[in-house]
Structure 1
């Protein structure tokens, strides 16, 4: 990875009334600062139902956990619900260690009805 590339990015799309946000790379304090406002904007302009896909997350620390909790709270304030698609075992282990594994509705994969179609692709890669 070059010096001007970030270690994280996201891709978002809507299906029906659900926004699906795929998170990629390292979710740390830097990602929280960069991705947090972008996710906030997406959740505010899109549907109240949200899914965060963690399958491509390679690292999760306190900054990433704060990001997940902020998204959960933001969606809840809008009257919606947030679901997480499980990531690698080490990501699930971090959530278990901090006792947040039960604070989210966890999925093993994207539900078939959502995987089959997308209304809009809102792909976003943060720039440096």
Structure 2
């Protein structure tokens, strides 16, 4: 089931998919976009046991402000005992994640089904389903 909301900012859409909060980024994620995105990102990642997917499939550009958003989301979700998945297919963004080492702490997945399925598999393995 997919529950779409209106865009909170031109660069971010937030929706629910199979018990996950999906943060779908769009366009250029730079310092200006980061200011717009930050309140929604904090709201989605600040809850305990949050299950969050960061979807970067629709971005065209990501600078250090965007990287800071990704790392902030990771830190907040893990601090609350939640799960975070990253979906990214854009070659330049994948290269930036690799150069910065962010791909080692947040390995990018190729599609949403893989991200949503990976969370469900880890829950089944831990016996919480």
Match of 1:84 in 2: 86
Contact 2:55 2:86 in 1 (8 A): yes
- Backbone CA RMSD of aligned residues: 2.3
Match of 1:33 in 2: 35
User: Which residue of 67, 78, 89 maps to 1:65?
Assistant: 67
Matched, 1:74 2:76: yes
Higher relative contact order (Cα pairs below 8 Å, separated by 6+ residues): 1
Greater fraction helix: 2
Classify 1:47/1:98 alpha carbon distance in 2 versus 1 (closer, same or farther; 3 Å).
Answer: same
Report runs of 4+ in structure 1 exceeding 6 Å deviation.
Answer: none
Cα distance in 1 for residues equivalent to 2:23 and 2:100: 23
Q: Number of paired residues?
A: 109
Gaps of 5+ in 2: 1-8, 118-129
Contact 1:52 1:83 in 2 (8 A): yes
Residue 46 of structure 1 deviates from its aligned partner by 8.8
Residue 39 of structure 1 deviates from its aligned partner by 1.2
Cα distance in 1 for residues equivalent to 2:70 and 2:105: 10
Gaps of 5+ in 1: 1-6, 116-128
Contact 2:44 2:50 in 1 (8 A): no
Match of 2:25 in 1: 23
User: Which residue of 85, 88, 106 maps to 2:108?
Assistant: 106
Contact 1:19 1:46 in 2 (8 A): no
TM-score of the superposed pair, with normalisation by structure 2? 0.74
